[in-house]
């Protein structure tokens, strides 16, 4: 099994700002702008808040409720009006999909979505970032692959419930791929009561990737077992050993300098037997 650290949502280059952490601690990942998408920000609701209002406030009108939103991954049934048969879904294409293919990502593998987040407050002028707090990378959701499809090979009657999805409206790409979530989370065995995809809706310290004393969001704090000791294949894109702090005896966490670019960072759990239990605990404690 592989676990993919998957960077998704607003950031300084896509959307122009972090995603909001609401006053109650809930995370609200914002879909990146997409002029081809049939979905607008004003169509989407999260935590009872219209995303059109949120993006307009946080970007100070640079992105409005009428702009197209790349709702992907789409893991919350209540975000939009749905057709019968809807399932949580993730799309990928281009070099990022090429990397997933090269890494052998397939059915049963688990995406853990992370992004750049900063607390927000509601003022008389609308939603604003809390400038007293720094942006940080946070895990915000998951999707375990139940099936995958090449969009270019789908027949008209296949996945009709998904034809709203932005990856049906991309300029044609040979490796444009949809990942459909498993119905139920299954690591070593099925996990009763936990869906194959969802949002982390309960604040937890374990969701934060950025180290507490970091100067930049990409200075991460990760479990010490993730250190790629001799013979282990590192988290993809993180092969340079000077990115890693070598753990000392008894140390539970180490520093890792995360790469600035890239969307999909793949970990093969065959080299890291603790990874499945870690992922399960992350999901259980945060849902």
Report the pLDDT value the prediction gives residue 144, as an integer from 0 to 100: 98
Per residue in 247-275, pLDDT (tens digit) is: 999 999 999 999 988 899 999 999 999 99
* Calpha distance 124→75 (Å, rounded): 32
**Alpha-carbon span 114 to 110, nearest angstrom:** 13
- Average pLDDT on 154-182 reads 93
Instruction: Report the 10 Å Cβ neighbour count for 272.
Output: 20
> What mean pLDDT value characterizes the chain?
95
Q: Mean pLDDT, to the nearest integer, of 87-114? A: 97
- Domain residue ranges of the chain, discontinuous segments joined by +: 2-285
pLDDT digits (tens, 9 = 90+) for 47-94: 999 999 999 999 999 999 999 999 999 999 999 999 999 999 999 999
For 177, what's the count of Cα atoms within 13 Å in the CB-facing half-sphere?
A: 17
Task: Record the tokens describing residue 17, joined without a space.
Answer: 């700002």
Residue pLDDT, tens place only, 169-180: 998 777 999 999
Kindly list the distances between the CA atom of residue 216 and the CA atoms of 123, 157, 204, 213, 279, in Å, as whole numbers in the listed order.
27, 47, 20, 9, 24
pLDDT at 191: 78
Q: Tell the burial category of 229 from Cβ atoms under 10 Å away from its Cβ (0-12, 13-18, 19+).
A: exposed
Residue 189 clears pLDDT 80, i.e. is over it: no
pLDDT of res. 109: 98
Buried b (16+ CB within 10 A) or exposed e, 205-228: eebbbbbeebeebbbbbbbbebbb
pLDDT surpassing 90 at residue 241: yes
**139, β-bridge pairs:** 114
What residues does 35 pair with on adjacent strands? none
pLDDT at 266: 98
| Residue 149 neighbours by CB distance under 10 Å | 18
**193 pLDDT band (50/70/90 cuts)?**
confident
Of 53, 107, 97, nearest to 72 (Cα)?
A: 97
User: Residue 139's pLDDT band (boundaries 50, 70, 90)?
Assistant: very high
Report the share of the chain in percent with pLDDT over 90: 91
Q: Is the dihedral of CA 39, 40, 46, 50 positive or negative?
A: negative
| Cis upstream peptide for 73 (omega within 30°) | yes
């Amino acid at each position: 099994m592989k676990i993919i650290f998957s960077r998704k949502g607003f950031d300084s280059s896509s959307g122009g700002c972090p995603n909001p952490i609401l006053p109650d601690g809930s995370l609200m990942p914002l879909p990146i702008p997409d002029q081809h998408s049939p979905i607008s920000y004003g169509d989407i609701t999260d935590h009872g808040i219209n995303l059109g209002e949120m993006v307009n406030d946080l970007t100070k009108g640079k992105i409005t409720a009428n702009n197209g939103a790349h709702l992907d991954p789409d893991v919350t049934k209540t975000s939009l009006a749905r057709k019968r048969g809807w399932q949580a879904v993730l799309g990928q294409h281009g070099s990022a999909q090429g990397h997933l293919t090269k890494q052998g990502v397939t059915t049963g593998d688990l995406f853990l979505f992370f992004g750049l987040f900063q607390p927000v407050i509601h003022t008389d002028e609308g939603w604003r970032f809390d400038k007293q707090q720094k942006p940080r990378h946070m895990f915000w959701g998951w999707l375990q692959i139940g099936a995958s499809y090449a969009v270019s090979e789908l027949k008209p009657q296949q996945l009709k419930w998904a034809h709203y999805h932005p990856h049906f409206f991309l300029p044609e790409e040979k490796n444009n791929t949809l990942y459909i979530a498993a119905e139920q989370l299954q690591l070593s065995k099925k996990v009763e009561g936990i869906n194959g995809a969802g949002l982390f809706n309960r604040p937890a310290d374990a969701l934060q990737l950025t180290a507490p004393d970091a100067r930049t969001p990409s200075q991460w704090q990760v479990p010490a077992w993730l250190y790629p000791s001799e013979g282990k294949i590192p988290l993809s894109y993180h092969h340079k050993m000077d990115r890693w702090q070598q753990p000392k005896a008894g140390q539970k966490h180490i520093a890792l300098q995360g790469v600035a670019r890239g969307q999909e960072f793949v970990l093969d759990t065959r080299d890291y037997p603790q990874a499945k239990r870690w992922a399960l605990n992350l999901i259980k404690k945060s849902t």
